[in-house]
Amino acid sequence: MRIGLIGYGEVGKTLAEDLRAQDHAVTAFDLKLGTPAGALLNEHAARCGVQLAASHADAVRGAELVISAVTASQTVAVAEACAASIGHAFFLDFNSASPGAKQEAAAVIDGAGGRYVEGAVMTLISGYRIKVPLLLGGAHAETLLPLITALGFSAKVASHKLGVASATKLCRSVMIKGLEVMLIESLTTARHYGVEDAVIASLYETYPGVDWQKQASYAFQRVIEHGRRRGEEMREAARTVRDAGLSPLSAAGTAERDTWIAEQGDAGVFGTRGEPGFARSTDWRTEADRLLANISHSIKDSSP
């Protein structure tokens, strides 16, 4: 099958590896290709036999299946950039966008003659790779299902109505990603006051089925490394909550905290990306101490 990949980040590269292992023809495009960061993408593509395109249109042209795996804020923009060359191809939208954004993207693709299908990735792709649990939605979902099942995807149709799959994912994200940033906020604050052991003990007593030490370390690692992308996803979750008529207090706060953590990482608070030890401590206290030290330093710098 001829497959076009828009977005060659963690998701795109993982899918490319698994699809190329089956000898499918894969063409990819990513906005980073023209930047210094693009060198790593070129190396990966050469190693896997992925053809890199010069534009969205070049990646899409002639494909039977297009997979959009970009940051949530680019969902509609990517659909618009691909529409002129989509032909009659399926357009599988992997992005963590709100039901409203998916509906806007679908109108663009279907209006150009393509076949839009929303896809909601329900957990981390790193553990499952191409077999990651995937919910499909839209009028073309049933037709696409056997085709991508043959490619190795573990998908099922959530609804023929657009937005159901995305709502399922983002309502889950309000809880899962909210819990992660609450752990970071709670335990970093507890570390400041020297009460972290008492807080952890209380959590174990209330929820004995959770390994809170391990969960806290995992939360720090994931948010530090992927905070910016998660912040965008949670802004889409906030839009989803808002469209339901509620004030997205939790979702919006999670988005803000995710983005703030990402900014700390960009500033080198957690070490240099790509170097051993970056956001990889088995003890969450290491990352909390880095945050607290930077906060203390910032307060001193701002003092009159």
User: Which band of pLDDT confidence, cut at 50, 70 and 90, is reported for residue 212?
Assistant: very high
- Hey, how many other C-beta atoms are within 10 angstroms of the C-beta on 88? 9
Q: Which of 206, 123, 218, 235 is nearest to 179 (CA)?
A: 218
pLDDT score, position 28: 98
d(CA 207, CA 238) in angstroms, rounded, equals 27
For residue 115, pLDDT beyond 70: yes
Q: Which residue has the higher pLDDT, 276 or 192?
A: 192
User: Which band of pLDDT confidence, cut at 50, 70 and 90, is reported for residue 278?
Assistant: confident
Q: Which of 252, 254, 261, 244 is nearest to 295 (CA)?
A: 261
pTM reported for the whole predicted model: 0.89
Query: Quick one: fold of 2-161?
Result: Rossmann fold (3.40.50)
Q: Which of 134, 126, 142 is nearest to 11 (CA)?
A: 126
What is the dihedral sign for C-alpha 18, 228, 184, 280? positive
Q: In this prediction, what percent of the chain has a pLDDT beyond 70?
A: 97
d(CA 290, CA 218) in angstroms, rounded, equals 16
Domain map (residue ranges) of the chain? 2-161, 166-302
For residue 304, pLDDT beyond 50: no
Q: Which residue's entry shows tokens 């970093």?
A: 188
Question: Which CATH number is 166-302's, of 3.40.50.2300, 3.30.1330.10, 3.20.20.150, 1.10.1040.10?
Answer: 1.10.1040.10
